[in-house]
């Protein structure tokens, strides 16, 4: 399973405009609706916000992985958002999040969803990888970097 099987330049937004957790999730869900086979944007937003209510998906080192399960998607769907300024996301380390990986999977599917989270967590451990994603100028740069690091062509 490769993240780049799910993430294309259309699934990436550099320069998120949201100023809070709800705004950012709404913005990311909008990208998901535009790029994936989504039947109900409100259901996805509600599912992700419900999951956030159970505990923030804001990790450490400027990364958040908001995720949920919803039958409003037919297969695992991932979008990536970048905020150079950072957004308060109730992260574990109390610092703003800069990189957002929104994932939504059908309720009947758990394998790819769990694998994707594990891959992202592994990749974001590399400081240089995170810094390069935050500094990316174009969505294609984000996809290319993920591809190269996933395929061992480049160190994180």
Residues annotated as catalytic are: 67
Distance of CA 119 to the CA centre of its chain: 12
Question: Which residues are bridge partners to 80 per DSSP?
Answer: 12, 101
Taking a C-beta distance cutoff of 8 angstroms, is the pair 126, 120 a contact? Answer: no
Identify the helix (H) or strand (E) that includes residue 30. Answer: helix 21-35
Nearest to 85 by CA among 10, 17, 12: 17
Strand, coil or helix: what is 79? strand
Provide the strand spans (E) within 5-146: 12-14, 63-64, 67-69, 77-87, 97-105
């Amino acid at each position: 399973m490769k993240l780049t099987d799910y993430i294309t330049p259309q699934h990436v937004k550099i320069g998120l405009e949201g100023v809070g957790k709800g705004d950012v999730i709404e913005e990311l869900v909008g990208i998901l609706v535009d790029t994936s086979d989504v039947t109900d944007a409100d259901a996805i937003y509600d599912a992700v916000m419900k999951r956030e209510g159970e505990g923030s998906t804001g990790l450490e080192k400027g990364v958040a992985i908001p995720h949920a399960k919803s039958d409003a998607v037919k297969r695992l769907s991932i979008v990536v958002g970048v905020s150079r300024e950072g957004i308060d996301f109730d992260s574990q380390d109390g610092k703003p999040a800069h990189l957002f990986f929104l994932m939504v999977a059908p309720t009947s599917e758990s394998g790819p969803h769990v694998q994707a989270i594990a891959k992202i967590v592994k990749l974001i451990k590399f400081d240089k990888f995170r810094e390069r994603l935050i500094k990316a100028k174009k969505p294609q740069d984000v996809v290319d970097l993920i591809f190269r690091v996933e395929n061992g062509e480049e160190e994180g």
